[in-house]
Structure formats: structure tokens, C-alpha cells
Amino acid sequence: MRIWVSGSLAYDIILDYQGKFADHIRPEKLHVISLSFLVRSVNKTIGGTAGNIAYSLAMLGMKPCLLAAVGEDGKEMLGRYGKLGISVKNIRISRLPTAAAYIMTDSMDNQITGFHPGAMNEKIKLPKLKKNDWAIIAAENPRNMAALARHYQKNQIRYIFDPGQAITSLSKSQMRQCVSGAAIVIGNDYEIDNIFGKIKSPLPSPPPPDFAKATTGTRGEGNKNEFLPLEGGGKVGVVIIRTLGPKGSEIVCPNGKKIKIGVAQVKKSVDPTGAGDAYRAGLICGIMRGFDLKIAAQLGATSAAFAVEHYGTQNHHFNYGILVKRHNKNFESRI
């Protein structure tokens, strides 16, 4: 069983602002915003949605396969990933520069981001898939996201749809394409409302017919993980995971049932930038190890705690054993 991780590979330029953005935004002047912030520090690190998720998966003993593109300036990045056991065989090398994100964070962990796609505009290489593979479609070029969704649906591969920063770039038809075959749709509170608002679909979204057929065993006989297991043995085809920052997260089942997921205690909050991607990695790790979604999401919350304790998105270090130990300290369910 492999996990295909698509999204951006980028350099993150992180700017740390000690004040609050809100103190300088005048509601009556939103149509003429012109602001400048004096930042305390600037750091350049390796990042990108796909890179961040794959990094944490590698820390947890997984062997993720990256699907993305970088420029000539990204070869050092790929060398680092290769040493971590991350497959870079499907990476396209472009003449364009590697994508770059300029992320400013204030004292309340609010963020303003400017993103230059660069090599991310390249057409992605569609992978050769096996029956039991999983995938996550994270934010990148909308055309690639929709193409991967079609590819996974055609091959009956379960995938997590995580559009994040690409929500505004995805067309209505592209968004519908990606959501229609997803096993899980994940995002923060604001993102989830925007995703389903864009396609004018109520929450929660019912499982798509084609995916339901694929998960009943009709065309997927012998798959040990044909369904996503919920707490208590219930089975679902599609779920929504809504992350709520310091309030934790929740799993929304197709029947409307909500499962609350708490947060893992953080030793010291340093930088929230990589928390979301680390959450995804912990979640995927739990799913691929056969845990129900509640425990998988708890592992996601625990993984996020490690990322928050370090500056940047790929500077935390842990392994599966350490993850489980902290999980067991923070949640009633034991692994």
C-alpha cells in the first residue's frame, strides 16, 4: 500500500510580525487597504503542501511518493527528500523556478500569504497505481488537482481532498470533480464552508455512487481497507474533517454525526505554519495503519503539536513511537 502525495514543493519565506494584523485593519477602509508591517525575523525554509506532508510521513516511518514539480533550484530539496526515504521518481524538473510562499504570521497566529507558483504550473506526471494505494490531493495548480482526481476515480483509488490555499483558484467544475470522488475532504472551518459553498452542496456531502460501488467490494475484492472505519465499527464512504485550531477538530459523517477530536498539549508554541500539514500526515499514518478515523485524527492532532513547537514546516523531528507515546498522554484511547 502506497501513499501518493501531490501538492506544491516550495520554499517558504516566513516573516514573524509581533503585533496583531487586526489592530491595523479599518473595516470602513477595506476597499483601499495599504499596509506595511515591520517584521522581527525572516527565515527561508523548505516547504510546500506536498513537501510538508511527505516530510512528516517520512518521520513516521511511511514511504510517501511525491507528485509535483520543481525548478533547477529545487534539486537540493529533492536530494534531501531522497535521503529521508521519500520517493521523488515522479517529480518533474522545470525550467521555471521552484514555487515560493511568502508567509507573514502575527502574534495571534493569523497569516497573510503571497504565493508564486513557478514550476507548479507544470503539468503533473500521472502515476501508475496499484489497487490498495491511497492519495492526498493538496493545494497546487488547479488543473493538476482536477486531473489527479479523475485519475484516482478512474482507478478506484481512495484519496483525501485538501484544497486549502487553492480554493479560490479552483473553478466550480474543478471543485466538484475533486469533491465528487473523495474519501475525505479536509480543511479548516472557513475552508470547508467555502468548498461546499462553491459547489452549492449542503454539509455533509453524500458518498458519490461510483465511489460507493468501489468500496463495497464489487470491484475491489480483497482490499483489506475497503472502507474507512469509524469508531465503533461503522463504515463510511465519504467524511469531512474540519480543523478548528486551538479548539481541535471534528469528523463529520455523511449522516451528520460529529465526532469531536481534542488537541494534544504543546510544550511551547513557536510557529503554527506547518501544523495543518503535520495533522494530515498523522491522519494518513493512522489510516494506513488500520486505525479508525477517530484515532487517526487524534494522531493527526498529536503530529500537529510537534510541528507547532518548531520554527518552519520541516524542522520537527519525531518517529511513530514518540507520536504514540504523546498520543497516549493526551487522549483516553490507547494505542
300 and 282 Cβ atoms separated by less than 8 Å: yes
Domains and CATH numbers, the chain: 3-9+48-99+119-330 (3.40.1190.20)
3-class secondary structure, 329 = helix
Cα separation, 303 vs 275, in Å, equals: 8
Distance CA 222, CA 215 (A): 11
Alpha carbons 136 and 64: distance in angstroms, whole number:
10
pTM over 0.85: no
Length of the chain: 335
Higher per-residue confidence, 230 vs 43: 43
Q: Identify the H or E element spanning 161.
A: strand 158-162
Contacts 24+ apart (CB under 8 A), 326-335: 326/264, 326/302, 327/264, 327/298, 327/299, 327/302, 329/265, 330/262, 330/263, 330/264, 330/265, 330/298, 330/301, 330/302, 331/262, 331/264, 331/298, 331/302, 333/294, 333/295, 333/298, 335/291, 335/295
> Residue 40 is placed in which grid cell?
522581527
Report yes or no: 70 and 94 within 8 Å, Cβ to Cβ. yes
Q: Which residues contact 216 (CB under 8 A, 6 or more apart)?
A: 226
- All residues at 6 or more sequence positions from 34 whose CB lies less than 8 Å from its CB, including other chains: none
CB 156 within 8 Å of CB 174: no
More confident residue, 260 or 43: 260
Predicted local confidence at residue 203, as pLDDT: 62
Evaluate if residue 264 carries a pLDDT over 80. Answer: yes
Under the banding of pLDDT at 50, 70 and 90, the label for residue 249 is: very high
Residue 218's pLDDT band (cuts 50, 70, 90): very low
**8 Å CB contact between 254 and 236:** yes
The model's pLDDT over 276-326, given as tens digits with 9 standing for 90+, comes to 999 999 999 999 999 999 999 999 999 999 999 998 899 999 999 999 999
Q: Where are the beta strands (DSSP E) in 17-151?
A: 41-47, 65-67, 69-71, 92-94, 99-105, 111-116, 134-138
For the stretch 42-87, pLDDT in tens is 988 899 999 999 999 999 999 999 999 999 999 999 999 999 999 9
